[in-house]
Amino acid sequence: MLDEMLQTADWKSEKHVPVIEAPDMVKADEVFEVNVTLGKEVAHPNTTAHHISWIALYFQPEGGKFPYEVGRVELTSHGASTDGPDESGVYTHHGCTFGMKTSHPGRLMAMAHCNIHGLWQSEKKLSLQ
């Protein structure tokens, strides 16, 4: 049922799709960085009324039954204040960086939640040298 709610598209034309930036190939058991952002080509709003709530990164080893959650970031500042919507001047940018390592090839999968447009996902293949 959850898979019916996950939306995908080309991040070059859709502002809600998580963009995964990571090497295509890494050395086994060496730490590398994975950046996940939204709105790389088409800007996503970041207002009290319309924002990205969280970003999560998963890794599924090749041949593995289940993915592992690498990390999750809650994005909690969207301009709201006691003075009203979009009055604080404090906004969390909808992007994050994870450091990880693996001894298996597989795929990185990112999910993001827009408070208006729901759940979005993308994936990127990861190979070992």
Active-site residue 114, yes or no? Answer: yes
Active-site residue, selected from the candidate residues 27, 50, 93, 104: 50
Active-site residue 96, yes or no? Answer: no
Chain-centre distance for alpha carbon 4: 19
Closest CA to 38 of 26, 50, 24: 50
Active-site residue, selected from the candidate residues 78, 94, 96, 114: 114
Active-site residue 44, yes or no? Answer: yes
Ramachandran sector of residue 91 (left: φ over 0; alpha: ψ -120 to 50; beta: rest): beta
Ramachandran sector of residue 29 (left: φ over 0; alpha: ψ -120 to 50; beta: rest): left
Cβ distance 80 to 88 under 8 Å?
A: yes
Reduced to 3 states, what is the DSSP secondary structure of residue 4? helix
Helix then strand count (H, E) for the chain reads: 1, 8
Active-site residue 94, yes or no? Answer: no
Active-site residue 51, yes or no? Answer: no
Active-site residue, selected from the candidate residues 40, 117, 123, 124: 117
Catalytic residues: 14-16, 44, 50, 114, 117
